A and B are shown apart, each in its own frame.
Chain A
């Protein structure tokens, strides 16, 4: 039976189906890719934790190998975040709320340009310029604050320390965090900004009252994106850092990060060997750390949903 209700716009329906199929397949594709990466890492890292001729499971051996690298990775990324996040939020605020409109576009482009520089260039800069430039700073820190374990130990003579690597990473993640924050800051509803101003808020108070609360989730997302890059950055760290044993000191040579370890070790590891499996296994560990970081970020963002202004 056909009535005016059972007929429909055929072309419209077909378009709707095609588009829905496209989005679904895009979503499935990204999940599949991720699943395959996880599978590849898991399967190939088996030899790192299980060896027949060494009596089965060798988890302790792997743990002893992996934990200094995990800690090194976290330290370098943490230094990068501490340095970059406040600067990035400040730069983004300057662009969105303080700079005269004529300049703000230009500054935005320059910041975005920073993101386009290849990481090997950052590495070279860190190794040959920033490292040596920081040597006197390390010397000073050691002399005056040497009682803190972070600044104990012999200061590096080349400047190629985990701290230098952290600084280089900080510069590298600055543009990502800045871009995300800037986009969010600009989107703050005028209505909320004017609500604060009309109550007698200065510009900074207005930013505290309406811009930051509105942008909170975006700032966290930006920082997490930056952290993701810092955790996974390979080339710059591999060039800057002269790797070594785990040490609490930030200013002496030593420490290494997972990506740098993989990049430096992989070319020398025979295919199929235990060493290669070991490198893939720490890759899996890095994968899990990143996953954990992102999930934590989501959780933080979703905690105050009710107050987010989205309702």
Chain B
């Protein structure tokens, strides 16, 4: 299952501060969409509003519509908890639950839903999820060891396994490789390519080569200056963004002539 995401006239606020202004975009299902742009342009803020994680911060709120296969996740009466079970998230720094074993980490989402799993069911979920996260062979002999004992790259793949174990429709990734070495980064990028077959993947990245490597579509965000809201400047096929951008600022940014 994967769902498309439509953003309609979205404004994102921190208290009175408008952080992201007037975003309209249609994000395809079963594709990888990359958000790029300079620091502070609101990419992460927008990403976090896609699964209602933005509002966890005090004073943070959102205006506009965000449609998940046509259903507005910001409509009154929608439970953010339900939204988050359908829109999973992988964070900048790997964050496996430190007190849980590798196995428990993968099953954490099921535990939350209160699902009663038989031993064989949970074994199967653990194995499939870890396999799809390309981690199974590395950890299959130590499933009962703490997740925090793994390397950074392995921890991040464990977090991805934890996210896909509950079979979300959309996976959000907030600079998932920024804390990792090149080899682990490559492993995650390969994985993103595979995830795309089953999920809608949206990834924020500072690494333009990464955006070019993994995504089909790219959105470029920018701010006019400090304290101004971030805006969506250009959104197109990744090849067009990197080769024939329509906007001057996009061209400057992707060619490294920024600022």
Chain A residues close to B by CB (< 8 Å): 101, 189, 191-192, 194-202, 205, 209-210, 213-214, 216, 304, 306-309, 311
- Which one of B2-10, B30-38, B83-91, B135-143 contacts A? B83-91
Which residues of B are found within 8 Å of A308, using beta-carbon distances? 98-99
Question: What residues of chain A lie closer than 8 Å to B162, measured between beta carbons?
Answer: 199
A212 and chain B: residue at smallest CB distance: B99
- The reply to whether the CB of B56 lies closer than 8 angstroms to some CB of chain A is yes
Some 5 contacts from A to B, beta carbons below 8 A apart, are: A195-B91, A196-B97, A200-B84, A201-B112, A214-B98
Tell yes or no: B133 within 8 A of A by CB: no
| List of B residues within 8 angstroms of A311 by Cβ | 98, 146, 148-149
Asked whether B58 is an interface residue with its Cβ less than 8 Å from the other chain, the reply is yes
Taking a contact as CB atoms under 8 Å apart, the answer to whether B89 and A198 are in contact is yes
Residue among A189, A194, A307 making CB contact with B99, cutoff 8 Å: A307
With contacts A194-B91, A306-B149 taken as known, whether A199 is within 8 angstroms of B84 at the C-beta atoms is yes
Is A195 within 8 A of B95, CB to CB? yes
Within B26-55, the residues touching A (CB, 8 Å) are 51, 53
- With both beta carbons as reference points, the residue of chain B lying nearest to A309 in the complex is identified as B98
B120 CB within 8 Å of chain A? no
- CB <8 Å contact, A200 and B112: yes
* A29–B92 alpha-carbon span in the complex (Å): 46
Q: Which residues of A contact B180 (CB under 8 A)?
A: none
Taking a contact as CB atoms under 8 Å apart, the answer to whether A205 and B89 are in contact is no
Chain B nearest Cβ from A219, distance in angstroms:
13
- A31 to B146 alpha-carbon distance, docked (Å): 36
Across-interface contacts of A194 in B (CB, < 8 A): 53, 56, 89, 91, 95
Chain A residues with CB under 8 Å of B148's CB are 307, 309, 311
B159 at the interface (CB under 8 A from A): yes
Residue pair A195, B159 in contact (C-beta under 8 Å): yes
Kindly state whether residue B113 has any CB partner on chain A within 8 Å.
yes
Q: Looking at B53, B100, B112, which has the most chain A CB atoms within 10 Å of its CB? A: B112
Task: State the CA gap A71–B93 with chains docked (Å).
Answer: 51
A201 to B53, CA, bound (A): 11
Tally A-B pairs: CB < 8 A. Answer: 81
A195 CA to B81 CA in the complex, in Å? 13
Q: Report chain B residues within 8 Å CB of A199.
A: 84-85, 88, 108-109, 112, 162-163, 166
Residues in A whose Cβ lies below 8 Å from that of B113: 200
Please give the distance in Å from B43's CB to the nearest CB on chain A: 17
Closest Cβ neighbor of B92 among chain A residues: A191
List B residues 86-133 near A (Cβ within 8 Å): 88-89, 91, 93, 95-101, 108-109, 112-113
Residues on A with C-beta less than 8 A from B56 are 194, 197
Let me know if B81 and A201 touch, CB within 8 A. Answer: yes
Tell me the B54-88 residues at the A interface (CB within 8 Å).
56, 58, 81-82, 84-85, 88
The CA of A308 and the CA of B98, in the complex, are separated in Å by 6
Starting from the known contacts A195-B91, A198-B163, A307-B98, 4 additional A-B residue pairs (CB-CB under 8 Å) come to A192-B97, A195-B95, A199-B163, A213-B99
Give Cα distance in the complex from A205 to B98, angstroms. Answer: 16
Q: Is the CB of A197 within 8 A of B108?
A: no
The answer to whether B53 and A198 have CB atoms under 8 Å apart is yes
Report the Cα distance A311→B98, complex, angstroms.
8
Nearest Cβ distance between residue B4 and chain A, in whole angstroms?
20
Instruction: Mark each residue of chain B from 189 to 207: 1 if its CB lies under 8 Å from any CB of chain A, else 0.
Output: 0000000000000000000
* Chain A contacts for B84, CB-based, 8 A: 197-200
- Please give the distance in Å from A46's CB to the nearest CB on chain B: 48
Given the complex of chains A and B, what is the CA–CA distance between A200 and B159 in angstroms? 14
CB contact under 8 A between A309 and B99, given known A199-B84, A199-B85, A200-B81: yes
With a cutoff of 8 Å between Cβ atoms, the chain A residues found around residue B108 in the complex are: 196, 199, 209
Which residues of chain A have C-beta atoms less than 8 A from B109's C-beta?
Answer: 199-200
* B59, chain A: closest CB distance, angstroms: 9
Complex contact A214–B85 (CB within 8 A):
no
Find out whether the CB atom of A210 lies under 8 angstroms from the CB atom of B112.
no
Q: Would B81 and A209 count as touching, CB distance under 8 A?
A: no
Q: Are A200 and B82 in contact (CB under 8 A)?
A: yes
Given that A195-B159, A205-B112 are known contacts, is A200 also in contact with B85, CB under 8 Å in the complex? yes
Q: Which chain A positions have C-beta within 8 A of B82?
A: 200
Return chain A residues, CB-CB under 8 Å to B146: 306-307, 311
Task: Report the bound CA distance from A307 to B105 in whole Å.
Answer: 12
Q: In this complex, what residue of B is CB-closest to A100?
A: B58
